[in-house]
Amino acid sequence: MKPISNATLSSEMAAMNISNIATATIRQILALAHHLESHLGEPFVHLEMGNPGLPASQVGINAEREALLTGIASQYPNIAGIPALKKNGSRFLKAFLDIDIPERCIVPTVGSMQATFTLFLLLGQRLPGRDTILFLDPGFPAQHNQVKLLGLKQESLDIYDCRGAALESRLDEILSKGNITALLYSNPNNPAWINLTSEEHKIIARMAEKHDVIIIEDHAYLGMDFRQRYGIPYQEPYVPTVARYTSKCILLVSASKIFSYAGQRIAMVCMTPEVADRVYPFFEQFYEMPTLGDAYIFGVLYCASSGVTHSSQYAFASMLGAAVDGTLDFVDVSKEYGRRAGIAKKMFTDNGFHLVYALDGEQPISDGFFFTMGYPGMTGDELQQNLLRYGVSTISLPSTGSKQQGVRVCVSMLSDDDTFNRLAERLAAFHKDHPF
């Protein structure tokens, strides 16, 4: 194949006001790839965007349609969530994570994006001097941007070289400064697809208790560590969570990936009673609501969106309920991502690439929604830019808060043989033109 010239790439970046590929958002990269397709003359292979690559759950679609036919579109939704969603959310957490979160502590949000944005805002206010969010990186770039947009401070800890026992001293050192209000991570991790071990969960829990930090645990890809057979209700193994070891945590569960319901923008914030019921003097003065739970629901979420779309709540409630009842095996459906990752990883490694984040302890990482790849002699930004010239769109690891060099690969859009074949051909051409 004939790659796009550096001059053409630079021209298109300039036209879109992208001065540095590493700082461009995922949506900007997607738009840039669409512009470059006309120069390539063929469709791009899109590995940058985390769109679900599977059909939306029919359970949710049917429930949402039925809800709309009852006339609920004319009514404002309950800001704290409809009863069915709160009930089934609590059941879901017990069935698949084996934790007890009461219905009153489960609150719907407009996707996990709204959840983190609003939680960052509130947690940045809870205690004087606690104005910093700590990210256990690599992570989702948009969440870093949210903290920046809110005018809060942030710190980053790249987990690459502090797995296992080494994590404790690193966390203790950072948290001892007393400026961290919350710690965020996703598990499985976006973009590295690492999964924290039970030892690491216990360490994070101990540090949160010691330093009075709230943990935000993002379960966007819940149950998708396919090395284990998660997803059988009320049966071991249960999905790992820090909530087994501390009450200083908030869990996020989104419908976007586990039910392929991304377009309807719904997730749930799951607070422990200890987090929800804690009283803060600032909240009492500012919101006239002393507890974190009330300040979050009636102070912040009300101003952010006045609730979550009524029909989407009915859809999410039905999907959660069907999963608990054993009629919707969301983990089995999502195993397709693992199959795609296994094929794509081999295509990359056959052409000189290497996994960057490769291990959980001594165990190779699972095949799943994401993985990370590096190439000898190239920084992450250089690799991302060079792959664009060959019609392969990714995001760089430095943009995720990682200190390592490479790119994130998302397999969700590798949905047919033609796309896999294009990827194989382009990686082979890239490798031929960039020997080492």
pLDDT in tens, 16-25: 999 888 888 8
- Residue 286 shares a structural domain with residue 137: yes
Residue with tokens 């759950």: 57
- Separation between Cα atoms, residue 186 and residue 190, nearest integer Å: 6
Is 283 strand, coil or helix? helix
Q: Report the candidate in 405, 427, 435 with the shortest Cα–Cα distance to residue 350.
A: 427
CB atoms within 10 A of CB 220: 23
CATH of the domain at 189: 3.40.640.10
Q: What is the model's pLDDT at position 19? A: 87
Q: For 8-22, what is the mean pLDDT? A: 91
Q: How confident is the model over 336-382, as pLDDT tens digits?
A: 999 999 999 999 999 999 999 999 878 999 999 999 999 999 999 99
Q: Report the candidate in 85, 65, 64 with the shortest Cα–Cα distance to residue 307.
A: 85
Q: How confident is the model at residue 50 (pLDDT cuts 50, 70, 90)?
A: confident
- Residue 19 shares a structural domain with residue 157: no
- Residue 221 shares a structural domain with residue 95: yes
- Residue 308 shares a structural domain with residue 159: yes
Q: How confident is the model at residue 49 (pLDDT cuts 50, 70, 90)?
A: confident
Q: What is the model's pLDDT at position 149? A: 97
Q: What is the model's pLDDT at position 362? A: 83
Domain annotation covers residue 1: no
Domain annotation covers residue 235: yes
Of 309, 325, 341, which closes a domain? 325
Amino acid code (one letter) for 413: M
Q: How confident is the model at residue 73 (pLDDT cuts 50, 70, 90)?
A: very high
Domain annotation covers residue 71: yes
Q: Who contacts 400 (Cβ-Cβ below 8 Å, separation ≥6)?
A: 137, 138, 139, 140, 141, 190, 191, 408
Count the residues in the chain: 436
Of 295, 325, 355, which closes a domain? 325
Domain annotation covers residue 81: yes
Question: Radius of gyration of the chain from Cα atoms?
Answer: 22
Extract the tokens encoding 86. 């709160």
Q: How confident is the model over 100-138, as pLDDT tens digits?
A: 999 999 999 999 999 999 999 999 999 999 999 999 999
- Residue 291 shares a structural domain with residue 236: yes
- Separation between Cα atoms, residue 200 and residue 127, nearest integer Å: 26
CATH of the domain at 343: 3.90.1150.100
Q: How confident is the model over 183-240, as pLDDT tens digits?
A: 999 999 999 999 999 999 999 999 999 999 999 999 999 999 999 999 999 999 999 9
Domain annotation covers residue 92: yes
Domain annotation covers residue 284: yes
Note whether 56 and 67 are within 8 A (CB): no
Q: What is the model's pLDDT at position 23? A: 81
Alpha-carbon separation of residue 411 from 53, 254, 263, 394 (angstroms)? 8, 19, 18, 11
Of 286, 301, 325, which closes a domain? 325
Q: What is the model's pLDDT at position 409? A: 97
Cis ω before 281 (30° cut-off from 0): no
Across the chain, mean pLDDT equals 96
Q: What pTM, to 2 d.p., does this model score? A: 0.95
Note whether 106 and 269 are within 8 A (CB): yes
Note whether 277 and 293 are within 8 A (CB): yes
Q: What is the model's pLDDT at position 328? A: 98
Q: What is the model's pLDDT at position 304? A: 95
- Separation between Cα atoms, residue 105 and residue 320, nearest integer Å: 16
- Residue 149 shares a structural domain with residue 296: yes
- Residue 293 shares a structural domain with residue 377: no
Q: Does residue 1 have a pLDDT over 80?
A: no
- Residue 234 shares a structural domain with residue 159: yes
- Residue 260 shares a structural domain with residue 167: yes
Domain annotation covers residue 245: yes
- Residue 300 shares a structural domain with residue 159: yes
- Domain hosting residue 183, numbered range: 58-325
Q: For 323-338, what is the mean pLDDT? A: 97
Extract the tokens encoding 30. 């997607």
- Residue 248 shares a structural domain with residue 394: no
Structural domain count, the chain: 2
Domain annotation covers residue 314: yes
- Residue 197 shares a structural domain with residue 181: yes
